[in-house]
Amino acid sequence: MEKGISGAVIRRLSRYYRYLGELTEKKVERISSGELSRIMHVTASQIRQDLNNFGGFGQQGYGYNVKYLYSEIGKILGLDFQHPMILLGAGNLGTALANSPDFEKGGFRLVGIFDINPELEGICIRGLPIRMISELKDFLSSQKVEIAILTLPKEQAAQTADLLIDNGIKAIWNFAHIDLDTPEDVIVENVHLSESLMTLSYNLTEYRKTHDKKS
């Protein structure tokens, strides 16, 4: 039943999860599908369709139990397990990610930080000392790590990815401006910020064209 779920569905589930988390914090116990649809700006039928991929969690006439739905979506997204992560690249972006409290709430626990700049060695971020990449192999052989966050410049990113994979990393969250060449059993989730900015630029340009024609 969970076969062939598209990336778009998963992204919407993550979004539902964020809203349900906020409702949980506000002690909301149950919510109608109409109300959920209104706050999330998604049609009730879209929500139903998305959840039906996983069996559906609503009850006719009752709506959704917030806490239950939050926990079930969390399970689908794999957030009911701890995910030990390491960070490669302790620049501004890496530091921003390391300091994000939202990730820890989702079970993503940072256990090591690595960089190539010897001047950063030993400096602590969130209580973790910055280590040199030369220590990576030993570190990975002594600790269980699932996810590597890659924020190194593209010149170093490709070879570091190879090193990570050779040492057992199965998932890379890639912020480097490069498409990594990885084996099929390694999961890569790319955040290519320049593609996002260009999408914005395209939409702005299209809007201007239409708008200028009209006025």
Binding status of residue 43 toward a copy of itself by CB under 8 A:
no
Q: Which of 134, 141, 194, 215 binds a copy of itself (CB under 8 A)?
A: 194
Binding status of residue 97 toward a copy of itself by CB under 8 A:
yes
Contact 115, 89 (CB under 8 A): yes
Helix (H, G, I), strand (E, B) or coil at 85: strand
Q: Which of 79, 86, 113, 133 binds a copy of itself (CB under 8 A)?
A: 79
Distance CA 61, CA 157 (A): 52
Binding status of residue 91 toward a copy of itself by CB under 8 A:
yes
**7-25 vs 66-76: helix axis angle to the nearest 10?**
140
Binding status of residue 147 toward a copy of itself by CB under 8 A:
yes
Binding status of residue 96 toward a copy of itself by CB under 8 A:
yes
Binding status of residue 155 toward a copy of itself by CB under 8 A:
no
Q: What backbone phi and psi angles, to 5 degrees, belong to 19?
A: -65, -40
Contact 152, 88 (CB under 8 A): yes
Within 8 A by CB and 6+ apart from 5, the residues are 53
Length, in residues, of the chain: 215
Outline where DSSP puts E strands in 61-191. Answer: 64-65, 83-88, 108-115, 124-125, 128-132, 147-150, 171-174, 187-190
The site that binds a copy of itself (CB under 8 A) totals a number of residues, namely 58
CB of 62 to a copy of itself, least distance (A): 26
Closer Cβ to a copy of itself, 33 or 151, answer by number: 151
CB of 125 to a copy of itself, least distance (A): 10
Q: What part of residues 103-122 is at the interface with a copy of itself (CB under 8 A)?
A: 103, 106-108
| Residues of the shown chain interacting with a copy of itself in the complex, contacts defined by CB under 8 A | 2, 7, 10-11, 13-15, 17-18, 40-41, 76-79, 81, 83, 91-93, 95-97, 99-100, 102-103, 106-108, 146-147, 170-171, 173, 177, 179, 185, 187, 189, 191-207, 211
